[in-house]
Amino acid sequence: MFLPLIYTPSNNAGIMATPFLLSEDSIELQFATNHMGHFLLTNELLEMMKKTALLSKKEGRIVNVSSRRHKFSYPEGIRFDKINEQSGYNRLSAYGQSKLANVLHAKELAKRLKEDGVEITANSVHPGAVATNLFRNFGLANGLVSLFGKFVIKTMEQGAATTCYVALHPQVKGKSGLYFADCNVVEVSEQANDTNLAKKLWDFSLSLVSKRPNTP
């Protein structure tokens, strides 16, 4: 039996290990796609979710799809002063940075929702290695995944299991600011537990959003 939920946005869009590129908003592409898009979408929906949670008295849940690669970001965690610089760019570290941002975002959002007394939770998940085209920037590795992936990594249905569990299962009711893998709470990196880093990322992300041109 599943809980009646008001709305459960799952922030799942992602790219991995791209060459250095900038988005249309001139933000490093992995950070823009994997974190900023999720941050903006969540903020756009948040007030509606809060009002609906209050009126319906039902729990809302926000799920960020992160990765165990959040443990392998740059040494400073988030390159706030160099986020869009090609110098020092490492495609895997940049991916790790964006996945670290997913965890930090969920933790900071969970704290703010709790302070507001709103019945909405925010968590992050690691879906596991899944047989998708996420590996398309790896050349030979992508070919190996296509050939042998079904024998060693998860299917798309298996990869979606933890996200669905955190979004819908009654056992997760009221749990917030956590990181899940294989439908269990697991530990995150030291950087992902840094509350000051989470707050700084929140403020930094807001500043980037405020610079976006107004669209019709």
Q: Evaluate whether residue 76 is within a structural domain.
A: yes
The number of folded domains in the chain is: 1
Give residue 118's domain range.
10-210
| Residue 39's CATH number | 3.40.50.720
Rounded to a whole number of angstroms, the CA Rg of the chain reads 17
Q: Evaluate whether residue 2 is within a structural domain.
A: no
Write out pLDDT tens, residues 15-74: 888 999 999 999 999 999 999 999 999 999 999 999 998 898 889 999 999 999 999 999
Q: Evaluate whether residue 119 is within a structural domain.
A: yes
Q: Evaluate whether residue 165 is within a structural domain.
A: yes
One of 74, 89, 95, 165 is an active-site residue; which one? 89
Q: Evaluate whether residue 174 is within a structural domain.
A: yes
Q: Evaluate whether residue 132 is within a structural domain.
A: yes
Q: Evaluate whether residue 3 is within a structural domain.
A: no
Write out pLDDT tens, residues 133-177: 555 555 544 444 555 455 557 676 777 889 999 999 999 999 999
pTM confidence score:
0.87
Whole-number Å distance between alpha carbons of 8 and 1: 17
Q: Evaluate whether residue 146 is within a structural domain.
A: yes
CA-to-CA dists, residue 83 to 2, 101, 179, angstroms: 41, 12, 25
Q: 74 an active-site residue?
A: no
